[in-house]
Structure 1
Amino acid sequence: MKRRVAITGIGAVTPLGNTAADTWQGLAQGRSGIGPLTTFDASTFAVRIAGQVRGFDEGEGEGEGAGEVGRDGRLSRAARFGVAAARQALRDAGGDRIDVDPYERGAAIAGTVGRPPLQELIDMSQRIISSDHRELYRQAPADVALRSQNAGAAAIADSADCRGPLISLSTACAGAAHAIGEAYRHIQEGDCALMLAGGFDALTTWMDVLGFSLLGALTDRFNDTPQQASRPFDARRSGFVVGEGAVMVVLEDYDRALARGARVHGELTGYSSTLNAYRITDSPPDGGGASAAMRGALTEAELAPDAIDYVVAHGTGTPGNDVSETAAIKDVFGRHAYDVPISSPKSMTGHLTSAAAGVNLLAALGAIRHGLIPPTLNLDRPDPQLDLDYVPLHARRHRVRAALVNAFAFGGTNACLVVRAAEART
């Protein structure tokens, strides 16, 4: 018999705040965290805005409990967000009161989809061109940690004294959902009693902004009014807004969590993953594999579509993605598609790529706890093609017992989670 899985801790560093509580408050208030880019000089760029983390204490993402590279201050900006969010999640779950053997603790982490800082690569190239190869050999060997996707995941696992399995994956915008789903599987099957899971990312470098701009994926129409830029499901949507941050959760064997007196935020009851096999950057207009992923998660959760009280949409604000996701919801939910509230946190945070599904899960847990659905900001001009209830502009009071969390990524990979109120099956 598969074990039940409880969510006992959550931590976040996002454009809406540097804690999970502050992030939820921002979502509930319909507050935008999007503003001018300050991570580089974007004055000559077509896109000059982002959902950027502000006021972050670098010490939260390094020092003791952040692994060897974290203690030495060698973690990337994105990984430091991840370590800080992980520490929050552990404190929320009970910290030192968590009595789980280290070898029964694991981690599943979606790392950044980024790369080494481009300026560093340019500097290396110039040294090679100038034939001053000696400069290359003067780099500290440990600096290789900065270029390793696994370094951040390992530091996060170390922060929780996880000596069981470590899964480090990169599936772009579905990354956090895959990480949380795979952690869920490990607990279900009895491989671990506790898993730390989530994602971190910081695609606010000039190379990432330039690359996504050239793809035509980012909106460039709201540089002077950045808080209006992210417009999922709106008729004036013209692309997503890049963001950064991290969200981590602690998952535990449900019965053991109750036995130790842990507070349970919610119960994960379903997870499914599919691939569109359509195009790298575009979603299929008919919903494609997203429909199958939603159905799979609902089937595992043993819930009919009309038992879902809230759909946390992937909702990027790109013209094609919003059409595809709407088609998939209609395909899976039938008539209930017109009754179930749907909203997109990306309208407030921008797109946190590998961490995006973590924000969506945070929104679902907040809605379950507070009976409040965050709005889709900037949806002031409905698109006739998109005729569902996307909770425009203002949060809404609504009882939520079960929520579906969507995550659909470049490359055509999809992942969906179902989370239920903690007492729903007890």
Structure 2
Amino acid sequence: MKRVVVTGMGILSSAGVGVEQFWNALLTAGRGIAEPVRKVEIPQVLKPGLARRMDRFSYMTLAAGKMALEDSGILAAEPDLNRVGTVFTTAYGALASNVEFARKLLTAGPNLTSPTVFASTVANACIGHTCMNLGLKGASTMLMGSSAVGYGFDVLRAGRADALLAGGIEEYHESVETSFRQKGFLEAGLEPGVVVCRPLDKNRQGVALREGAAVLVMETLEHAEARGANILGEVRGYGGGFSAISPERAVEPIDSKSFADAMLTALADAQITPEQIDAVVMAAGGSRGGDYAEAMALHDVFGERGRTIPVTTSKGLTGEAMGATASMGIATAILAVAHQTLPPTAGYAEADERLQLNVVAGTQLSGEYRYVLVNGFDIGGNIASLVLAAKEGQV
């Protein structure tokens, strides 16, 4: 099977827009961010007339995908666009378009409801806009959950494509936040500031809903090397799983076995042992039960090393971006192996003794990170674990 590498990224998040802003925000635990935002700023990547033909969800997807392609430099190499596709994930899809269409249908009736709005309500409309505007003609699909990068990994190593845009997209909608707040799933005890939740902290109270997009350019190693690409890191293994309780509902300690199984599957797929993992980018997003379950799974997988291996998470700044969250964590891990540095865990202030974890806090932690394990745990209970490796010769 073919080896798969990451050569570029496009990121829209409450922690920053673009790779540089995002990474600097993570390294400084949010210092320099003016204020946290629920709706991200989307760069103008199309002329206004073309942009008006799509809804915000599709425009976010296109913008992140275009940023990723530009970051990778792949289009300058004039690849066979029939062999370049997309794999995207989301939880709710084009939620604003769906709400608008439903309200219009109910209040004005079908004869006065625009068919163009209906065309935007399907989750994979974003793929059509992205592929048409960027000229991509390869294998493309839309998924739910945390599996975009893992699925893309499988497609590429099987030789079904030369390169893919892979990642997650989610747009914020106030109705979702209202329902989550009514059910008591959201962080409610923080003072105003750039930190939006307290992952792994003793006083964590819940998740914080945000939006965003994180899209990676993934290529086969031979394709990347043939064009002289700058390789950020390599995907070595993937494992998936499912928990009956998703992170926002995990108000009580939950079974950690699904987490452990996903991690062990990823390690087996990568053909490495737990002892070879140098750090973990956790899915932890501030829910009391979800963070606890993942921590217990780490101890199951790593044994005594579970107390000492450095762990971090980006969700103190990015929040729970649902279908985009796992891809943001993977982007964090790719940047960590590329820079050989783990960012601190924003929002973490007081250790939870029940977790018994070595949380990176306060400042970044430089070191030698050959293999990093990254977990995703999303709305609906889907779990994804990946093993990422530094490029050869870096460590």
Residue 46 of structure 1 corresponds to which residue in structure 2? Answer: none
The residue matched to 2:194 in structure 1 has which SS? helix
| Structure 1 residues not aligned, in runs of 5+ | 37-49, 65-69, 128-132
1:392, 1:27 → 2: CA distance? 11
2:156, 2:195 → 1: CA distance? 41
The residue matched to 2:359 in structure 1 has which SS? coil
Q: What is the identity percentage for the equivalent residue pairs of Structure 1 and Structure 2?
A: 27
Deviates more, 1:263-272 or 1:160-169: 160-169
Structure 1 residues 259 and 215, CA gap change in structure 2 (3 angstroms):
same
Residue 103 of structure 2 corresponds to which residue in structure 1? Answer: 122
The residue matched to 2:17 in structure 1 has which SS? coil
For 1:283-338, what per-residue CA distance to the aligned partner results, in whole angstroms no more than 9, with x for missing partners?
A: 86341211111011111111111211111110110111110010011111111212
Letter paired with 1:87: K
2:381, 2:41 → 1: CA distance? 34
Cα offset, 1:122, TM superposition: 3.3
Give the conservation status (yes or no) of the 8 Å contact 2:101–2:113. no
Residue 336 of structure 2 corresponds to which residue in structure 1? Answer: 367
2:393, 2:301 → 1: CA distance? 23
| Structure 2 residues not aligned, in runs of 5+ | none
Letter paired with 1:163: K
Residue 264 of structure 1 corresponds to which residue in structure 2? Answer: 231
Residue 242 of structure 1 corresponds to which residue in structure 2? Answer: 209
1:259, 1:312 → 2: CA distance? 31
Residue 7 of structure 1 corresponds to which residue in structure 2? Answer: 6
Question: 1:15-414 maps to which residues of 2 (within 5 A)?
Answer: 15-31=14-30, 51-57=37-43, 59-60=44-45, 62-63=46-47, 71=50, 73-114=52-93, 115-117=95-97, 118=99, 121-127=102-108, 133=109, 136-171=110-145, 174=146, 178-203=147-172, 205-222=173-190, 224-277=191-244, 281-282=249-250, 285-414=254-383
Structure 1 residues 340 and 157, CA gap change in structure 2 (3 angstroms):
farther
Structure 1 residues 51 and 357, CA gap change in structure 2 (3 angstroms):
farther
2:308, 2:51 → 1: CA distance? 52
Question: How many positions carry a matched residue from both structures?
Answer: 391
The residue matched to 2:16 in structure 1 has which SS? coil
Cα offset, 1:279, TM superposition: 6.8
The residue matched to 1:71 in structure 2 has which SS? helix
Give the conservation status (yes or no) of the 8 Å contact 2:196–2:317. no
1:33, 1:213 → 2: CA distance? 28
Structure 1 residues 33 and 385, CA gap change in structure 2 (3 angstroms):
farther
Give the conservation status (yes or no) of the 8 Å contact 2:12–2:41. no
Deviates more, 1:310-319 or 1:390-399: 390-399
For 1:100-120, what per-residue CA distance to the aligned partner results, in whole angstroms no more than 9, with x for missing partners?
A: 322212210113525245355
1:257, 1:108 → 2: CA distance? 19
1:35, 1:216 → 2: CA distance? 28
Letter paired with 2:60: F
Structure 1 residues 385 and 193, CA gap change in structure 2 (3 angstroms):
same
Structure 1 residues 279 and 248, CA gap change in structure 2 (3 angstroms):
closer
Give the conservation status (yes or no) of the 8 Å contact 2:284–2:315. yes
1:294, 1:192 → 2: CA distance? 26
Give the conservation status (yes or no) of the 8 Å contact 2:323–2:379. no
Cα offset, 1:52, TM superposition: 2.7
State the Cα RMSD in Å: 2.4
For 1:361-411, what per-residue CA distance to the aligned partner results, in whole angstroms no more than 9, with x for missing partners?
A: 221122112222111122212112112111123222222111111001233
Letter paired with 2:103: I
Cα offset, 1:63, TM superposition: 4.3
